């Protein structure tokens, strides 16, 4: 007996977001954040992000603009 669920195509939607500079649309934007040491992972884990952002493309403080770069198909 065949399973009717087999062959049903699941369409996976993947949205890819780019964080860009509000001044120059560059992508070398950095966010102030707090990292917390995780002894189990033996690495710094991002704990909290702040609103203050800096762009290395135009060397200034900026606002972050989110851009959806998924191809819409
Ligand atoms: Zn910039």
- Please write the tens of the pLDDT for every residue from 22-64: 999 999 999 999 999 999 999 999 999 998 999 999 999 999 9
Sheet holding 60-62, edge to edge: 29-38, 43-55, 60-62
Joined tokens for residue 24: 């120059």
Q: Tell me the average pLDDT across 13-26.
A: 92
64 vs 10: which has the higher pLDDT: 64
pLDDT at 59: 97
Ligand 1 centre distance from Cα of residue 61 (Å): 8
> With bands split at pLDDT 50, 70 and 90, how would you rate the model's confidence at 13?
confident
Q: Which of 27, 15, 16 is closest to 62 using CA atoms? A: 27
* pTM: predicted TM-score of the whole model, two decimal places: 0.66
Ligand 1 centre distance from Cα of residue 53 (Å): 10
Ligand 1 centre distance from Cα of residue 32 (Å): 16
Cβ of 47: how many Cβ atoms within 10 Å? 11
């Amino acid at each position: 007996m065949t399973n009717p669920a087999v062959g049903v195509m699941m369409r996976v939607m993947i949205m890819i977001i780019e964080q860009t500079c509000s001044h120059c649309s560059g992508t070398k934007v950095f966010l102030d954040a707090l990292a917390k040491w995780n002894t189990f992972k033996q690495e710094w884990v991002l704990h909290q992000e702040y609103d203050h952002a800096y762009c290395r493309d135009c060397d200034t403080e900026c606002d972050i603009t989110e851009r959806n770069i998924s191809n819409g198909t």
